[in-house]
Structure 1
Amino acid sequence: LVSYVNPFIGTDGTGHTFPGATLPFGMMQLSPDTRVDGSWEGCSGYHYSDDYIYGFSHTHLSGTGVSDYGDVLIMPTNEINFNNGFNGKKGYRAHFSHENELAEAGYYKVLLDSTNIEVELTVSYRSGIHKYQFPSKDQQFIILDLEHRDELLDYKINRLNDSTISGYRYSKAWAEDQRLYYYITFSKPIKNLTYAIENANSSKNYKFESKQAALEFENPDNEPIYVKIGISPVDENGAKNNLETEIGKKSFAAVKKEAQDIWERQLEKIIIETSNYDQKVVFYTAMYHAMIAPNLYQDVDGRYRGMDLEVHQNTDFNYYTVFSLWDTYRAAHPLFTIIETERTNDFIKTFLAKYDEGRIMPIWDLSGNYTGCMIGYHAVPVIADAYLKGIKDYDFEKAFEAMKHSALQDKLGLESFKTLGFIPVENESESVSKTLEYAYDDWTIAQMAKELGNEEDYTIFTERAQYYKNVFDPETHFMRGRFRNTWFTPFDPYEVNFNYTEANAWQYSLYAPQDFSGLMDLMGSKEALENYLDKLFVAESETSGRHQVDITGLIGQYAHGNEPSHHMAYVYNFVNKPYKTQEKIRQILTEQYQNNPDGISGNEDCGQMSAWYIFSSLGFYPVTPGSNQYIIGTPLFKKASINLENGKTFIIKANNLSLENLYIESVKLNGQQHPYSYLNHSDIVKGGTLEFFMTNKPSNWATEDQYVPTTAINDHLIVPVPFIAEGNVAFKNETQILLKNADKEAKIFYAIDDSEFQPYEQPFIISEPAILKIYAEKNQKQSAVITTQFYKIDPKISIVLNTNYANQYNGGGDNALIDGILGALDFRTGTWQGYQDTHLDAILDLGELRAVSNISVNFLQDQRSWIFYPSEVSFYGSNNGDEFVLIEQHNFQNPKPTEPTEIKTVSTEVSGRHYRFIKVVAKNIGDLPTWHLGASFKGKAWLFVDEISVN
């Protein structure tokens, strides 16, 4: 089966995979590096479009959207040159062509045609071998570069003898403090060792100032030079022990054979039978990619570096890192509950160890670091899903404690989520997505609580699981941001903005997999949900607002290249239309996955994109992990056999399968008619046969209500919180308030300032600054009380904006700059007005001639988000609105790199001069500075402004 693995799939386009050698869930990923700049396309270190290899490093990330790793670069060459060549000058990089490149599971080979050096690579779990064949016995050099890619924090190159060096590399990138140790042996003696810094004493064994070294070898017979390396997160002795234990004196051929034998056993976990060669390659490459991460992060002696960056000892289980949980909880981890049950136990034990070390389970951890990346607390559903499937070889009481601990934090919007039942836009960025994903995670806690007999927690988390209802807009049927308890406007469901995580309203509004029945009730019917799905798949395949490189693989507004869409095609089963699921799944399987380097429609994301393909091509998918149900789609292969760790086999057969026969006519499970469009986990793990009978047109199979899957929350129903459907939080003379609720049967109550609550019967007027409190009640149960501050703008003052702000950063609309509400440090909370590659040109009309003493305006700078201070701010005054005189101009210095987010107030003293009109012009810097990472994308700077004040 290893012959069907094509590691080049995903190395082009946006797949972000690497072609080098690794083992299943191994610590080492020994692969060529064609990128040194950390660019988005080159997150894995390699991109198929490149022409140069800079060397071969020993750690790589598979399919991520952020760059890191690329540790300990080694490059064979024919001269000493410490410049890598990235700057266009002569360097140690070498040209190569794909015609002279070969990648297999556990093995990689390339000819560096600039130097005519042939390179072969293979690995064990924590160690690897390079094989270099030089063209002649002369000029045989190897460059060791510890500075490659990331910011170097600390380093050591230590020559132990004529054939061995060791050291370490501490670096900063996505992981703020990554520590890696290495131990390298060479098959030929080191003739000379040259450091990149002059006067380094090569005879002493201590940390040198050099970050690079060139090794020259004595090789009179021009035999291949073998470079054996062990790595460790603990220390140099750990790296040595890993190398000697795993590889020792083994030959390159022996290690390669062991690697490919290991992969063969892994791939045999699922055997497919098809005459379509490309489909077989795509499937087994998906199996390969799904088993690259998470990665071992533990030496052979059981030592590892924990989330406290301290060294811990453990021999009871394997400890892992690189948990891309926002992606992988959806399908990759559910796949592991079928084919990797023992390793799933180790994953959960790892979560609990990280909980002990860092006092919280990981969200996206990398080499002992919390990256702060992505949303939710998705270690929780991984544990719940495994536990409910009977995978319990860990302290599940402690696991439940850790799950609750994750949910009971007050950070990342959780304080609002717990108290209000949703996250307001102004309190936290990506508020809609976080509300939805927290609700799902909490449902899985509730399911585990129920299984444990914990009624109190079952009640609490079942209620929280329904908080998705609080961001559902009953008018548009979309999940929307609640900004000051109104809906974020203007609303465009195509717009990618800070209310959603790597998505828009189209792509997140079906995210209630724990309660599709409740979502149908909110929409009004099954037909309404089906109508939404139909529109989703035929909508315009363009997005507006912020450019989001992760939104790829669009079919209408279904974005298969990013995870929030992955369950959507299967939702047709829930509305009695399984044939529509079958159509969409076949389309995605055949169009979005190909046997070529650009064969994955989005970031591979540590196995999630591949796990979707594996499940879907077999004929079912885990739409709601934690429910123990798989929703049936349509099979791609005539036969597939899942070989389970319990010794049993689950066989899937498809009769009459063809390109046209994509529809299911009937299904049998173990010889009995199976009229249901779903499958239970227990049906799989006890072994048996699932048999599909295919046809070329839609059938009536699984269309009756009793055969349709459901997810429903029927216990401890909440009352959704009401919202302000009409009314301006910042107003001039008065504003009319219309209140509504997603549940039309709920009764709304309101109070203004310190008055008593009264039933809401009809719209009312607010004409002065006030505090409005509202809640809803139904069946003697109340929602949370929501408080909204109303601001009155001086009715004499108006503003005209001569330049256009971006809708996703509108700050509350045209009056945002004079509404008295100040922006905070987080630009994504909706209070700033944003202008990209556009100046601010605003004119305030004071209503009459007034004595002005001071004018001020606030700007935000967050360089990581492309937000910069203006290059220049000018204040003008006028009596007639046509002729303006310059009052004062403020010039900013050319921007320099800075990490902190800052707010700067620019003001000018006017000394009582009289004006009716004040004009403020702030010039955007335009192109991002050349030193900024975004400059490689030809990025344009943002100007964020809030509150022009005139005293």
Structure 2
Amino acid sequence: MKNRSLSRKKTGAQTRRRLGFALTLTLTLAVAARAETHDAVEWVNPYIGTGSGSIGYGGTMPFVTPPFGMTNWTAQTRQNRLSVVSYKYEDTVLQGFMSTHQPAIWMGDYGYLTLVPQVGALATTPEARQMRFNHADEIARPDYYSVWMTAKDGSRLRAEITATERCAYMRFTFPKNASGRVLVEASRPGVAGEAKFDAAKHEITGYNPDRTDRNLGPFALPNFKGYFVVEFRQSWKNAKTYGADGAGSHGAYAEFGAGEMVEARIGTSFLSVEQARENLRKEIPAWDFDGVQKKLRVTWNDKLGRISVEGATDDQKKIVYTGIYHALLYPRVFSEYGRYYSAFDDKVHEGESYTAYSIWDTFRAENSLITLLAPERVPGMITALLQNYKEGGWMPKWPNPSYTNIMIGTHADSLVAEALVKGFTGFDRKTAWDAVYKDAMTPPEGDTTRRWLDREPHTPYEARGGLTYYKQLGYIPTDKTDEAASRTIEDSYDDWCVAQVAKALGRQKDYEFFLKRSLNYKHLFNPAVGLMNGKTSTGAWAPLGGGRDNPTNRSVSGWTEGDAWVYTWGGLHDIPGLVAMMGGADKYNAKLDQHFAGRHNVHSNEPSHHYGYLYDYSGQPWKTQAKVREIANAEYANQPSGIDGDDDCGQMSAWYLFTAMGFYPVNPASGEYMIGSPMFGKVSLRLGNGKTFTVLAKNNSATNLYIQSATLNGKALNEPVVRYSDILQGSTLEFVMGAKPSKWASEWRGKAIKD
């Protein structure tokens, strides 16, 4: 998903050359300088996505954190806020090193904390405390970050970071001839945070109650706080608080002797200062920086090693392993050893919890990737959504950490359906049904009196805005509800998901009801233009909108982050039904050709992610093979601007990973993956059940991108589909590749849902 004020929509051809980009040389030298080992961590380039350039801007940050870590740690080159993240590759100054929970550029932070090493006069504001640095003096890996900085007096300081799930370990090296200071910024002006010091314990403690989602969600959360404990190994010479404004202190600082290396262990919590201290005792019990770093490296190597590739260039390997790193950051852990704070009822509960689900984005491929790379997490992640339902009344769209009313649909239904279809257990099935049924049948408060504007502040929880009309008319009218046409299509997919939940639970009548209702998307097909088209409450066609030459106001045409061209293929669950509505495969293919030729495919935003795979359904799979290779080569690179568009909690990365392996979940809750064009000679996927799924592509190359034939476990495969059940068995999927299109799998069409 993209903040519309920030979205960068392409105006030129999708394919663009990346040669000559100056930062590539810097990155290559940095990687070579630290290539003493060849483990998977060394192939991660955390700078990918952190800069703007010839490809785009991914809005990522070079986090030091374990997979799904509750708290991420990064260098701060600018003060983050809604629409600005903490680190931008082009920046040349550092303002500190922070704990952050900001998952994407268009989302805000909450409960954050910043540590700043200093020499000279006390400087508390971001502008006054900043120090110069360059990337040649940086090391950035998932397990370790370090940088040398230049203070205003010309002296050099060094910072190092490693981390655990909820804590961090930092080391600061000060000049031999200057006293050092460590500033702990608990909160910012206008925020009633608190910091205090305890000389006997060598620690600074406090909390930060700030959370950006208060501007979007419906709830006040008076008990919310991000707590912290900062313990120093060395005794300090002096400590003070600063920035007191009557409501608390903005921070505190400790001063040390000249030339010292100062070590700090930082614990974070959303329960209490005492819990932050307990988290620290459990996760970093000893003063052993190298031991913590090595353990984190082992953790990352285990996860990164779930995918191995052969036949990839060095740049491709870096894109792959950085993609795994990005994809395994979210959703983030939000529980602390059997307890968690709920941002849905403002209380502490027992159990496991997660947050930072960018569901409108991640239901497409990121969540499906987690079912393969981290299946042990899936039951807890679904349970967390169901707990949110019980505590706040609904499963959330985008918890950060509470309701934010960002985006449309109730795609948590897709996550629940996918878990059930794929055979996951460990969550309450009755509660799962109750939650998805409420999504599908209960209109939100004030549904007919609100237009449900995008990111409208302080509204009730939006759920399926316009559901009242959807139930009455079979579609959501553009004159009653914003983004109505997009909502109709996405709600239809969610109905299909609810039908799958009903089927899994033996609710046959509910299954039939929601399966039939999932065809509501058909009400918007306008045969006169061969595209989906919004409708008014009288049944009249709304202005078509869409297209770069016809940017009709979306509140009139009914689209969200797309247009008629983008959303025509939005019914993920019934592509064969769309083929039939368009008049058959030939007309469908002609329209899809027109879609790509007209530059309507905007890969930087998620609704277009499955489009390259759609020729699989219409007898021209060779076009899918060419198109997905083209997109992968144009939209991803081993450079700071190497992700075209916000990574959106790993969705952009997940698209590349699936495409590189040769298959993609067009309908993620179906358990089916559509076959594209494997990018490497061999990919091995090590599964949680101990088996390995292998993709072999004989004669594969940049030009030999077309599938000539395929086998699954030695038997001929003549459909462009591989199933989750095939993957779990540890199957071998083998392709013979060639330079020219073939008729492989051209007879397969798939089955449309019947009325």
Shorter-chain TM band: 0.7 to 0.9
CA distance in structure 2 between the aligned counterparts of 1:24 and 1:711, rounded to whole angstroms: 38
For 1:624, the equivalent position in structure 2 comes to 667
2:416–2:501 CA contact under 8 A, matched in 1: no
Residue 321 of structure 2, aligned match among 280, 284, 308: 284
For 2:658, the equivalent position in structure 1 comes to 615
For 2:5, the equivalent position in structure 1 comes to none
For 1:514, the equivalent position in structure 2 comes to 573
> 1:47 and 2:105 equivalent?
no
132-141 vs 19-28, greater mean Cα deviation: 132-141
> 1:532 and 2:591 equivalent?
yes
- Give secondary structure in 2 for the equivalent of 1:448: helix
Partner amino acid for 2:699? N
For 1:473, the equivalent position in structure 2 comes to 526
CA distance in structure 2 between the aligned counterparts of 1:622 and 1:408, rounded to whole angstroms: 27
For 2:727, the equivalent position in structure 1 comes to 684
CA distance in structure 2 between the aligned counterparts of 1:342 and 1:490, rounded to whole angstroms: 45
Partner amino acid for 1:159? F
| Structure 1 pair 299–391 and aligned structure 2 pair: CA distance change class (3 A) | same
Partner amino acid for 1:383? V
| Structure 1 pair 283–215 and aligned structure 2 pair: CA distance change class (3 A) | same
Residue 374 of structure 1, aligned match among 407, 410, 427: 407
Deviations 1:650-697 (A, max 9, x none): 111110011110000000111111111111111110112111100000
1:128–1:230 CA contact under 8 A, matched in 2: yes
Deviations 1:156-211 (A, max 9, x none): 1122334111111101313555521001101212222233347x9xxxxxx97321
1:331–1:621 CA contact under 8 A, matched in 2: yes
- Pairing 1:193-272 to 2, within 5 Å after superposition: 193-197=239-243, 209-217=248-256, 219=257, 222-272=259-309
Partner amino acid for 1:266? K
- Give secondary structure in 1 for the equivalent of 2:100: coil
| Structure 1 pair 189–64 and aligned structure 2 pair: CA distance change class (3 A) | same
CA distance in structure 2 between the aligned counterparts of 1:359 and 1:573, rounded to whole angstroms: 40
How far does residue 612 in structure 1 lie from its aligned partner after superposition?
0.7
For 1:135, the equivalent position in structure 2 comes to 175
CA distance in structure 2 between the aligned counterparts of 1:532 and 1:712, rounded to whole angstroms: 19
How far does residue 68 in structure 1 lie from its aligned partner after superposition?
2.3
- Give secondary structure in 2 for the equivalent of 1:465: helix
Partner amino acid for 1:157? A
- Give secondary structure in 1 for the equivalent of 2:238: strand
| Structure 1 pair 620–492 and aligned structure 2 pair: CA distance change class (3 A) | closer
Query: Could you tell me the percent identity over the aligned residues?
Result: 36
| Structure 1 pair 490–293 and aligned structure 2 pair: CA distance change class (3 A) | closer
Q: Which has the larger Rg?
A: 1
610-619 vs 109-118, greater mean Cα deviation: 109-118
Residue 488 of structure 1, aligned match among 535, 542, 551: 542
CA distance in structure 2 between the aligned counterparts of 1:258 and 1:521, rounded to whole angstroms: 55
CA distance in structure 2 between the aligned counterparts of 1:286 and 1:648, rounded to whole angstroms: 22
Partner amino acid for 1:527? D
CA distance in structure 2 between the aligned counterparts of 1:154 and 1:63, rounded to whole angstroms: 25
CA distance in structure 1 between the aligned counterparts of 2:328 and 2:175, rounded to whole angstroms: 37
- Pairing 1:346-745 to 2, within 5 Å after superposition: 346-367=380-401, 369-411=402-444, 412-484=465-537, 485-489=539-543, 491-494=545-548, 495=551, 497-498=554-555, 499-539=558-598, 556-704=599-747, 707-708=748-749, 710-714=750-754, 717=755
For 1:180, the equivalent position in structure 2 comes to 226
Partner amino acid for 1:241? E
CA distance in structure 1 between the aligned counterparts of 2:43 and 2:175, rounded to whole angstroms: 32
CA distance in structure 1 between the aligned counterparts of 2:696 and 2:576, rounded to whole angstroms: 31
Deviations 1:628-666 (A, max 9, x none): 211000001111111111111111111001111000000
- Pairing 1:762-841 to 2, within 5 Å after superposition: none
> 1:160 and 2:198 equivalent?
yes
For 2:454, the equivalent position in structure 1 comes to none
For 1:848, the equivalent position in structure 2 comes to none
CA distance in structure 2 between the aligned counterparts of 1:476 and 1:146, rounded to whole angstroms: 57
How far does residue 275 in structure 1 lie from its aligned partner after superposition?
4.4
- Give secondary structure in 2 for the equivalent of 1:245: helix
Partner amino acid for 1:302? R
1:298–1:305 CA contact under 8 A, matched in 2: no
- Pairing 1:933-944 to 2, within 5 Å after superposition: none
How far does residue 134 in structure 1 lie from its aligned partner after superposition?
0.7
> 1:299 and 2:345 equivalent?
no
- Give secondary structure in 1 for the equivalent of 2:237: strand
Partner amino acid for 2:164? S
How far does residue 37 in structure 1 lie from its aligned partner after superposition?
5.4
| Structure 1 pair 36–644 and aligned structure 2 pair: CA distance change class (3 A) | same
257-266 vs 398-407, greater mean Cα deviation: 398-407
Deviations 1:594-648 (A, max 9, x none): 0000000010000111111111100000001222211000001111111111111
CA distance in structure 2 between the aligned counterparts of 1:4 and 1:373, rounded to whole angstroms: 34
CA distance in structure 1 between the aligned counterparts of 2:616 and 2:263, rounded to whole angstroms: 56
CA distance in structure 1 between the aligned counterparts of 2:643 and 2:565, rounded to whole angstroms: 22
CA distance in structure 2 between the aligned counterparts of 1:667 and 1:167, rounded to whole angstroms: 60
| Structure 1 pair 564–212 and aligned structure 2 pair: CA distance change class (3 A) | same
Deviations 1:718-764 (A, max 9, x none): xxxxxxxxxxxxxxxxxxxxxxxxxxxxxxxxxxxxxxxxxxxxxxx
2:163–2:169 CA contact under 8 A, matched in 1: yes
2:328–2:370 CA contact under 8 A, matched in 1: no
TM-score by length of 2: 0.87
2:196–2:252 CA contact under 8 A, matched in 1: no
> 1:28 and 2:71 equivalent?
yes
Q: As a proportion of its length, which structure holds more helix?
A: 2
- Give secondary structure in 2 for the equivalent of 1:701: coil
Residue 74 of structure 1, aligned match among 91, 102, 115: 115
CA distance in structure 1 between the aligned counterparts of 2:119 and 2:235, rounded to whole angstroms: 17
1:233–1:305 CA contact under 8 A, matched in 2: no
Number of matched pairs: 675
CA distance in structure 1 between the aligned counterparts of 2:353 and 2:315, rounded to whole angstroms: 35
CA distance in structure 2 between the aligned counterparts of 1:343 and 1:410, rounded to whole angstroms: 31
Question: Unaligned stretches of 5+ in structure 1?
Answer: 201-206, 540-555, 718-951
Question: Unaligned stretches of 5+ in structure 2?
Answer: 1-39, 216-220, 445-464
How far does residue 393 in structure 1 lie from its aligned partner after superposition?
2.1
CA distance in structure 1 between the aligned counterparts of 2:187 and 2:630, rounded to whole angstroms: 45
Partner amino acid for 2:520? Y
2:420–2:504 CA contact under 8 A, matched in 1: no
| Structure 1 pair 266–463 and aligned structure 2 pair: CA distance change class (3 A) | same
CA distance in structure 2 between the aligned counterparts of 1:170 and 1:24, rounded to whole angstroms: 25
1:65–1:605 CA contact under 8 A, matched in 2: no
Deviations 1:877-912 (A, max 9, x none): xxxxxxxxxxxxxxxxxxxxxxxxxxxxxxxxxxxx
Q: As a proportion of its length, which structure holds more strand?
A: 1
1:152–1:169 CA contact under 8 A, matched in 2: no
CA distance in structure 1 between the aligned counterparts of 2:312 and 2:660, rounded to whole angstroms: 14
- Pairing 1:887-926 to 2, within 5 Å after superposition: none
How far does residue 103 in structure 1 lie from its aligned partner after superposition?
0.5
How far does residue 2 in structure 1 lie from its aligned partner after superposition?
0.6
2:340–2:353 CA contact under 8 A, matched in 1: no
481-490 vs 516-525, greater mean Cα deviation: 481-490
TM-score by length of 1: 0.69
